Amino acid sequence: MQITGKNIIGFETLSEGTVAIQATNPATGETLAPLFYKATIEELGYAADKAVKAFQIYRKKSGFEKASFLEKIADEIENLGDLLTERYVAESGLPQGRAVGERGRTTGQLRLFAQLLREGSWVNARIDSALPERQPAPRPDIRAMERPLGVVGVFGASNFPLAFSVAGGDTASALAAGCCVIFKAHPAHLGTSELVGKAIQKAAEASNMPDGVFSLLFDDGHEIGMALVKHPSIKAIGFTGSYKGGKALFDAAVARPEPIPVYAEMGSVNPVFVLPKILEEKGAALAQNYVASVTLGVGQFCTNPGTLFLQKNESFMQELEKQAPNAQGGVMLTTGIRDAYVKGIEHAKNFTQIIGVGKAPEGFTAVEPIILRTDIEGFNTNTHLGEEIFGPTSLVVEANSKEEILEVAKNLSGHLTATVHGTEEDLADYTDLIEVLEQKVGRILINGFPTGVEVSHAMVHGGPFPATTDARSTSVGTMAITRFTRPVCYQNFPDSLLLDELKSDNPLNIWRLVDGELKK
């Protein structure tokens, strides 16, 4: 398979645009062939028309048909072999091992959604049987289940060129829900995007899916992305990226004549709280693991632990001073992300002290890690210190008492995660802290680090604003599917008109809530 630089619109590849864009290798600064042409507004319209027609067919596909389609996408991604992982490495500066791992995460998540569809109970089928004799008025037969929203627009993240990109969690959950997808590729990994887009296109044709079930448009800048959000055929948006980008798209979506939901995951600082007794017992190991977590993937994770709160402990600080200079930096994903990191650090240095600076390798966008410290007063006075600096850095905040720790927790804004390290005794002493944190985040961890987000049924990768624009959902794991569905109620329908999920004899043998009782 060759990378052509053309938009994928249903089963066609098209490029009518004249403005060329190109990917760059962040390790060398070299541009990568071929030229891609920015999608035009007409091409977006064409993709949307196809998707609207395709939706009328795709929404009726059974769970088994959609499952086979998702599995076929996973197979086609694997069939791309080294071509995909080599392009991934060239466009991201991330190592080959990460490319292979992320490909496994991507195909694994497609296959997990396929399993969910084959099992079938996710549709949340509910049946309230008719009560014709009920007094003073009879009750009609009422049934409900989740149905797909329509055509979904998805934006890929720069920091996961596979798992949060073209065939990533948002696309997988939208297709699983029965929605068609128009994807706006991230300009940092154009070639990787095209290869995966072609894998989806091939899988759609082979699985007898309608032309238009999936389209992929290229752009560098905001024109196509903004037009996608405003297009009347689009019924929901999935996004991972910056606060600025996510909020702009959310504002545009709610200002439409027909407002639509935007599921924007916009990152977070992921506060870590280390309690006094565990600091005494395991301070050295904690310092080592913390620095490793901060620098993993050059700190380019939305779950990077950006702040660590503790009650003053000099021996832990000395341990950090020992560990931080050994930390390894790396090549950042884009020059823009590197520049934002460098600028953020320069600014933060004016309000903090340096614990240690790690090493930067050779490379066009390479940066060094840095661990900073301040006291609680400094943190409370300079509120911007609580904002994300995307990259391999973290701020240690020293408090004087439990009360100060609780106060800072109460003042936190929404985050994706919060972590508490403590002995059993610590945890018993700080249940009030855990209660506060539960109201601030989507996931709380005890004695771990937040980097590494399992793709599973119980995972929540979300959280209150400003971590996301909708705290009621997750962008990772199978619960993500209901972001792209809505409940529909069918009153007094004969069995012949009902979907299999709601038919009286339960032909799919799924779990359903029948007259208030969960049964098959």
Contact string (CB under 6 A) for ligand NAP, positions 245-264, x = contact:
x--xx---------------
Question: What's the min distance (Å) between Cβ of 438 and ligand NAP?
Answer: 21
Considering only residues 387 to 426 of the shown chain, the ones binding ligand NAP according to CB under 6 A are 388, 390
The stretch among 117-125, 183-191, 396-404, 423-431 that binds ligand NAP (CB under 6 A) is 183-191
- Residue with smaller CB distance to ligand NAP, 263 or 430: 263
Q: Which helix (H) or strand (E) holds 181?
A: strand 180-184
**Residues binding ligand NAP: what is the number (CB under 6 A)?**
27
| 17 lies in the binding site for ligand NAP (CB under 6 A) | no
| 92 lies in the binding site for ligand NAP (CB under 6 A) | no
| 225 lies in the binding site for ligand NAP (CB under 6 A) | yes
| 102 lies in the binding site for ligand NAP (CB under 6 A) | no
End-to-end CA, the chain: 46
Residue labelled with tokens 């832990």: 316
Question: What's the min distance (Å) between Cβ of 247 and ligand NAP?
Answer: 8
Q: Sheet containing 485-491: which strands, arranged edge to edge? A: 485-491, 142-148, 126-128, 512-514, 517-519
Question: What's the min distance (Å) between Cβ of 252 and ligand NAP?
Answer: 7
d(CA 111, CA 72): 9
The stretch among 65-73, 220-228, 369-377, 487-495 that binds ligand NAP (CB under 6 A) is 220-228
d(CA 494, CA 288): 64
d(CA 374, CA 397): 5
| 159 lies in the binding site for ligand NAP (CB under 6 A) | yes
- Residue with smaller CB distance to ligand NAP, 157 or 279: 157
| 184 lies in the binding site for ligand NAP (CB under 6 A) | yes
Question: Which of 46, 69, 122, 155 contacts ligand NAP by CB under 6 A?
Answer: 155
CA distances from 162 to 32, 60, 70, 106, 318 (A): 18, 28, 15, 6, 39
| 266 lies in the binding site for ligand NAP (CB under 6 A) | yes
| 193 lies in the binding site for ligand NAP (CB under 6 A) | no
- Residue with smaller CB distance to ligand NAP, 142 or 248: 248
| 7 lies in the binding site for ligand NAP (CB under 6 A) | no
The stretch among 53-61, 237-245, 372-380, 440-448 that binds ligand NAP (CB under 6 A) is 237-245
| 242 lies in the binding site for ligand NAP (CB under 6 A) | yes
| 340 lies in the binding site for ligand NAP (CB under 6 A) | yes
For residue 264, report the phi and psi dihedrals to the nearest 5 degrees: -105, 125
Contact 452, 466 (CB under 8 A): no
Question: What's the min distance (Å) between Cβ of 448 and ligand NAP?
Answer: 19
180 forms beta bridges with 151
Q: What ranges in 80-95 are assigned the alpha helix state H?
A: 81-92
Sign of CA dihedral 499, 502, 506, 512: positive
Omega before residue 148 within 30° of 0, cis: no
Residue labelled with tokens 């939901």: 261
| 187 lies in the binding site for ligand NAP (CB under 6 A) | yes
For residue 328, report the phi and psi dihedrals to the nearest 5 degrees: -100, 130
Considering only residues 342 to 381 of the shown chain, the ones binding ligand NAP according to CB under 6 A are none
| 186 lies in the binding site for ligand NAP (CB under 6 A) | yes
Question: Which of 23, 157, 262, 476 contacts ligand NAP by CB under 6 A?
Answer: 157
Beta strands in 46-166 (DSSP E): 126-128, 142-148, 151-155
| 471 lies in the binding site for ligand NAP (CB under 6 A) | no
Residue labelled with tokens 């604003």: 465
| 146 lies in the binding site for ligand NAP (CB under 6 A) | no
Which residue out of 265, 319, 398, 501 is catalytically annotated?
265
d(CA 217, CA 7): 5
Residue labelled with tokens 């009030």: 432
- Residue with smaller CB distance to ligand NAP, 184 or 443: 184
Question: Which of 141, 265, 368, 426 contacts ligand NAP by CB under 6 A?
Answer: 265
Active site residue 302: yes
For residue 26, report the phi and psi dihedrals to the nearest 5 degrees: -70, -15
Contact 263, 465 (CB under 8 A): no
Which residue out of 76, 194, 302, 404 is catalytically annotated?
302
Reference 153, options 227, 59, 70; nearest CA is 227
Q: What ranges in 231-375 are assigned the alpha helix state H?
A: 243-254, 276-295, 314-323, 335-349
- Token couple for 211: 């032309």
- Residue with smaller CB distance to ligand NAP, 229 or 278: 229
Q: Which residues bind ligand NAP (CB under 6 A)?
A: 155, 157-159, 184, 186-187, 219-222, 225-226, 240-242, 245, 248-249, 265-267, 302, 337, 340, 388, 390
Active site amino acids: 265, 302
